[in-house]
Amino acid sequence: MHQNSTIDLSFKIGFHVSIIGGIHNSVTNAVEIGCTAFQIFTRSPRQWHSRDLEEADVELFKINLKKSGISRDSVAVHMPHLPNLSGPDGELYEKSVNSFADELIRTSQLGIEFLIIDLGSDRGHDNENGIKQLIKSCQTGVDSFKSTYQKKLDFTILLQNGWGSKNSVGVTLDELREILDKLPTKEYGICLDTCHAFISGYDLRTGEKCNGFVDQLNNIVGLDAVKFIHLNDSKMDIGARFDIHEHMGLGKIGVEGLKTIINRKSLRDLPMVIQVPYMFINDHSEELKDVRKLRNYKRVH
């Protein structure tokens, strides 16, 4: 279960990995392909129904993670895709908030450091209302968690920047800052998705452009709020507002932009997870080796 001794654990890089066969298998899957960070769904991302996590599976997950050498703060849970936390009141909104509250419980049970949430859509009820609903969703879910378990939130909820689809919330850096300002600082942060940023209009194609974006991110949102990175290339061009990932370095962002993110001093110590198009899955271990070649560091033996 221990990581290969030639892998530098200081570069926290990996993939979204499967939990098929039990959630404890996610750690095994991550280690087998050489991950030093990873992300999981705790259930099917395209179903509302979920079974409770079994205590034995949870304990085995924790044991496997400890043995793996992957740190707790290099692992994230991602919310399922169906919930919309920014939508108008109604049945879908209630189901979304309940799903979020359930995911808070599951993340805490697993002892994982981060829960990443999609911010959703205002469904045509204007952006201001969407943000208001999102804040209400977050507060309702967290309040339910605290009252049920009589304890503070023991992980951080990360807002993922949106990709600019119609009526989506949290696409611009200014919107992310506005949302963070309305939430408790210690409980929330940002997951930066490079593909989302690019297809929503932020240029990441060169070192200069990418550094300019990171400076803008720092000036508006604050880099101290960024806790996790989805290091994704894009099949679509800048501003396309259509979310299709590409294998690393083969997309419209390309090697120079991604290399800048990987090596930027203010970002390089953050956990980074790659999400590739599932219909074209290749050997993940080989893709990780290619990404590690972009890192400016000396191997630790």
Q: What is the pLDDT of residue 271?
A: 98
CATH architecture entry for 13-292: Alpha-Beta Barrel (3.20)
Q: b/e map of 231-268 (b: 16 or more CB within 10 Å)?
A: bbbbbbebebbebebbbbbebbbbbbbbbbbbebeebb
Phi/psi at 129 (nearest 5 deg)?
-70, -35
Contact 281, 16 (CB under 8 A): no
Question: Residue 54, SS3?
Answer: coil
Q: What is the pLDDT of residue 278?
A: 64
- Please tell me the distance from the alpha carbon of residue 289 to that of residue 274, in angstroms, as a whole number: 13
Q: What is the pLDDT of residue 46?
A: 87
pTM: 0.94
Q: What is the pLDDT of residue 90?
A: 97
Q: Is residue 50 packed enough to be buried (19+ CB in 10 Å), middle (13-18) or exposed (0-12)?
A: middle
Collect the ranges in the chain with pLDDT lower than 50.
279-280, 298-301
Q: What is the pLDDT of residue 1?
A: 64
Q: What is the pLDDT of residue 8?
A: 77
Residue 92's H or E segment, with its range, is: helix 91-110
Q: What is the pLDDT of residue 279?
A: 44
Q: What is the pLDDT of residue 301?
A: 32
- Please tell me the distance from the alpha carbon of residue 114 to that of residue 223, in angstroms, as a whole number: 17
